[in-house]
């Protein structure tokens, strides 16, 4: 049940992000569902490896390179899901920041820690 609630909150965060960030487009509700699942899988499997590989650069930039990694993960998800479109690097990075903030607010409102 917890996974279903987390999936719904992630879908809502994607919808809000698509509304707020120009160049960040999701075509249908089904695409939101698939994008939330794909982003979850990417964030579990690929993102930790990328963060480990780019650790020296991340330390050098005081953690700001993490925003670029988040944008890269969103671009990877947009390459996998046909109905999820990002027009460039700037919308991807801004979308990653907005998505993280919206998810944090939603998960705090739910009463659990954002993960």
For residues 60 and 54, the answer to whether their CB atoms sit within 8 Å is: no
Which of 21, 35, 20, 18 shows the shortest CA–CA distance to 82?
35
Strands (E), the chain: 24-26, 84-86
Decide if pLDDT at 113 tops 70: no
pLDDT in tens, 4-22: 988 999 999 999 999 999 9
The sign of the dihedral angle between the CA atoms of 46, 49, 55, 56 is negative
Q: What is the rounded distance in angstroms from the CA atom of residue 82 to the CA atom of residue 26?
A: 9
pLDDT in tens, 72-112: 999 999 999 999 999 999 999 999 999 999 999 988 888 75
| Whole-number pLDDT of residue 114 | 47
**pTM for this structure?**
0.88
pLDDT in tens, 19-67: 999 999 999 999 999 999 999 999 999 999 999 999 999 999 999 999 9
Token representation of residue 102 = 């919206």
| Whole-number pLDDT of residue 112 | 58
For 89, other C-beta atoms within 10 Å of its C-beta total 14
Q: What is the rounded distance in angstroms from the CA atom of residue 28 to the CA atom of residue 83?
A: 7
For residues 75 and 92, the answer to whether their CB atoms sit within 8 Å is: yes
Decide if pLDDT at 115 tops 70: no
């Amino acid at each position: 049940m917890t996974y279903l609630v987390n999936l719904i909150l992630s879908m809502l965060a994607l919808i809000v992000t698509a509304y707020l960030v120009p160049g960040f487009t999701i075509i249908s509700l089904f695409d939101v569902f698939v994008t939330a699942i794909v982003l979850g899988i990417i964030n579990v499997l690929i993102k930790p490896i990328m963060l480990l590989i780019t650790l020296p650069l991340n330390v050098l930039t005081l953690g700001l390179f993490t925003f670029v990694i988040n944008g890269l993960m969103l671009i990877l998800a947009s390459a996998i899901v046909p109905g999820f479109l990002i027009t460039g690097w700037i919308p991807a990075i801004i979308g990653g920041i907005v998505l993280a903030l919206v998810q944090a607010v939603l998960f705090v409102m739910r009463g659990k820690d954002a993960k």
